[in-house]
Structure 1
């Protein structure tokens, strides 16, 4: 009885950790078409079959300073929140291969009019920074902006903040990454020699955020480090047999759900579990990471714009 009660409480706790946004309800039908669903994969006689169709997920890393942990990790107070990291994750039909496309936050885009939770809508903005979409209209505007610039329907939305990322890495026992050059960034408090390092959550977050200690100090150099971290996390998850260690499984699940915002299609532990199970045949070696092709913006040397026709060809390939 005690074991059953504990399990029930844990499930309730994890389920209620998750915050969600009704993106489908807010955006309606004026969106790109969904990908054609593939045949479902059978699991067992009693379980519902797992989906195998192509899938597009917008994954955002928020630089929100809300909460004590985020303020500490983010480096003090900062008003509002922006999408510090943006990745379109495209999973092929069969869910054995995937492409992760990073969108530089400093990209100048045409930000569409977005509905606001309080009613009304934002105005169309030309030559706006990509990460301003999240700042002015939250997840709904971030999704609408990505769909407008790519023509790709986002089936799901996932957002994690500073504290959640660091806690996830710690719950997994850290991640191992290899850097090709020394990193000395006083702003992110990260100092690493070139080579292989096993990082805890705080240092992994610093690696994801560093840009002043590498390359030309722009967001483009940081994207390469973030993509290394994505693959390192996938590798660590695959190497950690969570199902045989209930305590570690709970720590990982609690770390993720406590700092997670999703669309309403993924706002339960059951839906997240089904998504994870459907991706079980996707090894880190079959995840391709790329960056949206960009060039320096003619209007501002500190900003970039999509490089055409290469960017449109990339999005067309995902469609």
Structure 2
């Protein structure tokens, strides 16, 4: 190896070490930083089931006396060792399970000062057996909400979607640093024993922009959804049965129609969310997800 080759090899080695250190610094200092305040939720204790059977002490003593070594003709067999339980580790070093509170706010502006939680979904991400499941919480559930009684003359029960409203800066009924999402997460934990790790809230304008950024979504409706009323007969509220390619405004309109009731609206919301999921995981868009995250990072709570 010539002197020039040795010099080049030394330079490349130093450069490789520098890039490795830089990568670790970026990972720990930038990419591992949370995007918002952490949730202030205590660890949820598991539900304790009552005992269903209490053994009789006299029966136990009788069984012990009948099981003495003298009654066995041969030697006792050696008990098999207990299997070693290996804790589950998620893919890429992730935790086994991550629970995310996803919120769709009815805020019409570009901020999160006010707004009700029109969409409340608990997303469970399984990193051991790769799978995502979503649980819907109806927004009109009557629940106990922490921290609000001092501001409502002792009243501590309201609709679930109002927990998000009371926690945001417009009302500020809580000191939770996570504001509306934090109070809504603690409300779910208090009433349903949920364990929530992270959260994300999106207002209506940001939702429209996300759908438009991916080129729209394709929604298949098994039956016609007609949201027209006598006060608003506009045909924009009519979605015939079949497949529709919707932009952001149309997707939001479909997701908000509730003329057939809250459960019908939840079904339409699920169809819109599934269509957005399909678009995000399509080959044409999946490579753009990092850029989309960076573009909308400041617009999501």
Same topology, TM > 0.5? yes
Task: Provide the rounded CA distance (Å) in 2 between the counterparts of 1:121 and 1:155.
Answer: 28
Task: Provide the rounded CA distance (Å) in 1 between the counterparts of 2:128 and 2:244.
Answer: 34
2:126 is equivalent to residue 92 of structure 1: yes
Residues 40 and 50, structure 1, Cα contact 8 Å, conserved in 2: yes
Q: Work out which of the residue numbers 190, 207, 217 in structure 1 matches 2:254.
A: 207
Task: Provide the rounded CA distance (Å) in 1 between the counterparts of 2:199 and 2:290.
Answer: 23
Q: What is the aligned partner in structure 1 of residue 242 from structure 2?
A: 195
The CA RMSD over aligned residues, in Å, is 3.3
Residue 125 (structure 1) shift? 4.1
Q: What is the aligned partner in structure 2 of residue 105 from structure 1?
A: 139
Q: What is the aligned partner in structure 2 of residue 32 from structure 1?
A: 44
Residue 19 (structure 1) shift? 6.2
Q: What is the aligned partner in structure 1 of residue 278 from structure 2?
A: 235
Residue 254 (structure 1) shift? 4.8
Alignment deviations for residues 25-69 of structure 1 (CA, whole Å, 9 cap, x no partner)? xx4x3x4159xx83143xxxxxxx4315111111001111333xx
Task: Provide the rounded CA distance (Å) in 2 between the counterparts of 1:255 and 1:86.
Answer: 24
Task: Provide the rounded CA distance (Å) in 2 between the counterparts of 1:111 and 1:259.
Answer: 27
2:160 is equivalent to residue 130 of structure 1: yes
- In the TM superposition, 1:152-231 aligns within 5 A as 152-186=194-228, 189-212=236-259, 215=260, 218-231=261-274
- 3-state DSSP of counterpart to 1:159: strand
Residue 177 (structure 1) shift? 0.9
Residues 177 and 229, structure 1, Cα contact 8 Å, conserved in 2: yes
Task: Provide the rounded CA distance (Å) in 2 between the counterparts of 1:143 and 1:65.
Answer: 22
CA, structure 1 residues 163+53, in 2 after alignment: closer, same or farther (shift >3 Å)?
same
The TM-score with structure 1 as length reference comes to 0.58
Residues 104 and 118, structure 2, Cα contact 8 Å, conserved in 1: yes
Structure with greater strand share of residues: 1
Residues 83 and 105, structure 1, Cα contact 8 Å, conserved in 2: yes
Residues 62 and 160, structure 1, Cα contact 8 Å, conserved in 2: yes
Q: What is the aligned partner in structure 2 of residue 143 from structure 1?
A: 185
Larger radius of gyration: 2
- In the TM superposition, 1:232-271 aligns within 5 A as 232-242=275-285, 248-249=288-289, 252-261=292-301
Q: What is the aligned partner in structure 1 of residue 105 from structure 2?
A: 62
**Alignment length (residue pairs):** 214
The TM-score with structure 2 as length reference comes to 0.61
Task: Provide the rounded CA distance (Å) in 1 between the counterparts of 2:103 and 2:222.
Answer: 26
Residue 82 (structure 1) shift? 0.8
Residues 39 and 197, structure 2, Cα contact 8 Å, conserved in 1: no
- 3-state DSSP of counterpart to 2:196: coil
CA, structure 1 residues 33+58, in 2 after alignment: closer, same or farther (shift >3 Å)?
farther
Query: Highest relative contact order (Cα 8 Å, sep 6+), 1 or 2?
Result: 1
Q: What is the aligned partner in structure 2 of residue 278 from structure 1?
A: none
Task: Provide the rounded CA distance (Å) in 2 between the counterparts of 1:241 and 1:175.
Answer: 13
